[in-house]
Amino acid sequence: MSSTPLARLEGAHKRFGKIAALDGLNLAANRGELLALLGPNGAGKSTAISLLLGLQQPDKGSAALFGEDPQSIDARRRIGVMMQEINLPAVMRPRELIGQTASYYPRPYETQAVIKRLGIEKIADRPYGKLSGGQKRQAQFAMAICGRPELLFLDEPTVGLDVQAREALWQVLRDLIHEGCSIILTTHYLEEAEALADRVAVVTHGRLVAGGTVDEIRAHVSRKSILCRSSLAMETMRAWPEVQQVTEESGRRHIVTRDAETVLRLLLAADTEVRDIEVRRAGLAEAFAEITANNPESLQ
């Protein structure tokens, strides 16, 4: 792994009127890793991507792609981009769209190879406007990777995909990383970050509030989950001071706590019938909830 970041934001500030979209954000994407940008809506994820793509300029601080101005065409020839909320020309076909995008790159993949790799042969020759939302995302993904990019920007790539298509896309992302491609991904599916990310950056209110590997982020969080089947009233459990939250899902209690050992003792004492006990470390979802909860301004 190279030590020079492929993409870097340093102390990036960006205001839109009175709203500070970015408030001194530092971010770096390293070679060969998948960086997941997490954060609530309006946290500044999209603005951060915009700066890295050279679509906007920071008011203060700097943005660089491969050590260059993100607007330089040399830098852009090394990236692939999948954006949200764009409509491609409805009368054109995915094969043509991929071919056109590929023509901008120095060493693209064959269009047919990309189509085959993503398994989108069936939609490749249908007008883009006639595709479903998920199929459109697949076509856009194909356009993003067709240029054999060193760095791939994916903004919510799996929105609208069914489970099967999402799994397939994840597999392609893992393969791409394996082949040496780096990826910056924004997502609001935490399991997507959990499944793919080497590193996670949690952004709220235009600032980086937590960063590290998925394990490191989890370790930040002392919360654990206890899953069990119990006939004890939920109110009784909630009354224990160490318990933060109790829910029930398909007959299983889900107790969130910072002190799993104490709660376990209480549980075993109170309910001798308790079964199927399982203690889990926090997932990214819990971590994320805690991190953002600790930054109360982000809840606005």
Partner 1 sequence: MNTAYSQMNRARVLAAYLGDIRFELVKMIRTPAFAIPTLLFPILFFMLFGVLMGSARGNAQMSLFAFASYGVFGAIAPGLFGFGVSLAFEREQGLLVFRQAIPMPAGSYLLARMVMAMIFVAVGSLAMIALALFVAHVPLTFGQCVTVFFVNVLGVLPFCAMGLFVGSLVSGQAAPAIVNLIYIPMSFLSGLWVPMQFLPKAVQQLAPLWPAHHLVQLSLAAVDAPSTVGSTGNHIGALVGVTVLFFALAVRRLGGRGIRLFSAPRGGYVFLLRRAINVGMFWIAVGLVIAGVMGGNAPRAAGRTAATSNDAAKSVPDASGSAAHVGVAAPDKPVIADFDNGNANASYGLGFSASDDKMRGGDSSAAQQLVDGGAGKSRGALEVSGAVGTGIQYPFAGTSFLPNGTPNAEWTKQGLMDYSRKQTLRFFARGDGKDYLVMMMGPAVDTIPAMFGFTAGAEWQEVRVPLQSLGGIDLKQVKLISIGTMTPGAFRFQIDDVRVE
CB atoms within 10 A of CB 89: 12
Contacts to partner 1 from residues 268-297, by CB under 8 A: none
Long-range contact set of residues 85-89: C-beta below 8 Å, sequence gap at least 24: 86/140, 88/128, 88/136, 88/139, 88/140, 89/128, 89/129
CA 225 to CA 173: how far, in whole Å?
30
Would you give the binding string for partner 1 spanning residues 19-58, x where CB under 8 A is met?
A: ----------------------------------xxxxx-
Q: Which of 53, 14, 34, 10 is nearest to 170 (CA)?
A: 34
CA 210 to CA 199: how far, in whole Å?
10
* Residue 245 beta carbon to partner 1: minimum distance, rounded to whole angstroms: 40
The answer to the question of residue 87 lying near partner 1 (CB under 8 A) is yes
Q: Which is nearer to partner 1, 142 or 228 (CB)?
A: 142
The answer to the question of residue 106 lying near partner 1 (CB under 8 A) is yes
* Residue 50 beta carbon to partner 1: minimum distance, rounded to whole angstroms: 9
Q: Which is nearer to partner 1, 81 or 287 (CB)?
A: 81
8 Å CB contact between 53 and 81: yes
Q: Which of 38, 40, 39, 35 is nearest to 197 (CA)?
A: 35
The answer to the question of residue 88 lying near partner 1 (CB under 8 A) is yes
The answer to the question of residue 247 lying near partner 1 (CB under 8 A) is no
Q: Which is nearer to partner 1, 74 or 125 (CB)?
A: 74
Contacts to partner 1 from residues 146-165, by CB under 8 A: 147, 150, 153
Using CA atoms, how far residue 59 sits from 3, 56, 213, in Å, is 27, 9, 30
* Residue 120: Cβ-neighbour burial (10 angstroms; 0-12, 13-18, 19+): buried
DSSP per residue, 130-144: GS-HHHHHHHHHHHH
8 Å CB contact between 241 and 288: no
* Residue 37 beta carbon to partner 1: minimum distance, rounded to whole angstroms: 16
Would you give the binding string for partner 1 spanning residues 66-85, x where CB under 8 A is met?
A: xxxx-xxxxxxxxxxx-x-x
CA 282 to CA 222: how far, in whole Å?
8
* Residue 84 beta carbon to partner 1: minimum distance, rounded to whole angstroms: 8
User: Of the ranges 93-101, 158-166, 167-175, 250-258, which one interacts with partner 1 (CB under 8 A)?
Assistant: 93-101
Q: Which is nearer to partner 1, 1 or 163 (CB)?
A: 1
The binding site for partner 1 (CB under 8 A) comprises 4, 53-57, 66-69, 71-81, 83, 85-89, 91-92, 96, 99-101, 103-107, 143, 147, 150, 153
